Copies of this chain bind each other. A is one copy, B any other.
């Protein structure tokens, strides 16, 4: 399969035989995580609400469809949660709405999806499974516009959109349920994640998905404002690796860690690398107003804390990761390019 790189393999092995729940497991990162776990011999249950437009696809779990239990249910449904939560040794929380723009258009909907679901999961764990280890996928959005670079975990949090406000609240829930109720929780702040199974349909799920889609369709890539913003990009297998390492790291409990990449790339560099792989040209266009209001400028994170504690580092460089991503979607694009 063109989507396999070795990154996640070593850390997944430590989950062999263990009972693991992946919420949002039909989505981009959740499905890659579930696949790594199932291939390593973990007993994987996936819980996903399959809310429209949130990137969940049954095809994402095609490689392990005989080896995974899939429950279609909303995490706000306490009875459904109670059904699947008992006996789970690990819970990876990947469910959520990640669109910055949509959160500004429908803040109450974002509150439901990103806050109420988390409280529902944590309350269910408090009642029915106090020994599970909970690993939350959070986001660098909680920092907002960086005051300095690289951004470490002690950088002030000042989210610039409703989605970021709610993601920060979710992180704080996990910290509180650890400190007050004794649950084992950890949160990772993900940065730009890309790779096979990423959502290519929803336009505001991240710049790499937008560019990959246009490249696959042979459309010119559009750079807002010259593409000077610099970012750090993680290939999804490296993110899966980090999630798996964090779940097994005793000293991570109650804490929050950045992911990141040793080098920042401008968006212009990103489209140039994509251009080399796919031959797609690019053009400069003005910044749309609704985007510039929530644009954070340059961002790259300091992941030294996680590296020191778990040995994690990203192993996939941007060009290699993009080549794998393009190869995956060239093979399976029919499943991913339509709504």
Scan residues 113-166 of chain A and give those whose CB is less than 8 A from a CB of chain B.
115-116, 119-120, 122-123, 154, 156-162, 165-166
> Chain A, 94-113, contact with B by CB distance < 8 Å: what is the 0/1 string?
00000000001001100100
Please classify the interface of chain A as helix (H, G, I), strand (E, B), loop, or mixed, using the class held by over half of its residues: helix
A337 at the interface (CB under 8 A from B): no
In the complex the two chains form, is A162's CB within 8 Å of B157's CB? no
In the complex the two chains form, is A165's CB within 8 Å of B160's CB? no
Question: Closest Cβ of chain B: how far from A157's Cβ, in Å?
Answer: 7
A176 at the interface (CB under 8 A from B): yes
Whole-angstrom distance between the alpha carbons of A119 and B157 in the complex? Answer: 20
Question: Closest Cβ of chain B: how far from A202's Cβ, in Å?
Answer: 20
Whole-angstrom distance between the alpha carbons of A170 and B281 in the complex? Answer: 44
Question: Closest Cβ of chain B: how far from A127's Cβ, in Å?
Answer: 12
Whole-angstrom distance between the alpha carbons of A267 and B237 in the complex? Answer: 54
Question: Closest Cβ of chain B: how far from A152's Cβ, in Å?
Answer: 13
Whole-angstrom distance between the alpha carbons of A120 and B179 in the complex? Answer: 31
In the complex the two chains form, is A119's CB within 8 Å of B107's CB? yes
A169 at the interface (CB under 8 A from B): yes
Whole-angstrom distance between the alpha carbons of A293 and B176 in the complex? Answer: 10
A89 at the interface (CB under 8 A from B): no
Scan residues 292-310 of chain A and give those whose CB is less than 8 A from a CB of chain B.
293-294
Question: Closest Cβ of chain B: how far from A318's Cβ, in Å?
Answer: 31
> B residues within 8 A CB of A1?
none
In the complex the two chains form, is B173's CB within 8 Å of A160's CB? no
| A155 to B, closest residue via Cβ | B156
A37 at the interface (CB under 8 A from B): no
A3 at the interface (CB under 8 A from B): no
In the complex the two chains form, is A172's CB within 8 Å of B176's CB? no
Scan residues 5-41 of chain A and give those whose CB is less than 8 A from a CB of chain B.
none
- 15 further interface pairs, Cβ-Cβ under 8 Å (given A107-B119, A108-B116): A107-B122, A107-B123, A108-B119, A108-B120, A111-B115, A115-B169, A119-B162, A158-B172, A158-B175, A159-B172, A160-B176, A161-B180, A165-B169, A165-B176, A166-B169
A190 at the interface (CB under 8 A from B): no
In the complex the two chains form, is B162's CB within 8 Å of A176's CB? yes
A168 at the interface (CB under 8 A from B): yes
Q: A160-B176, A176-B161, A293-B179 are in contact. Are A111 and B119 (CB under 8 A)?
A: yes
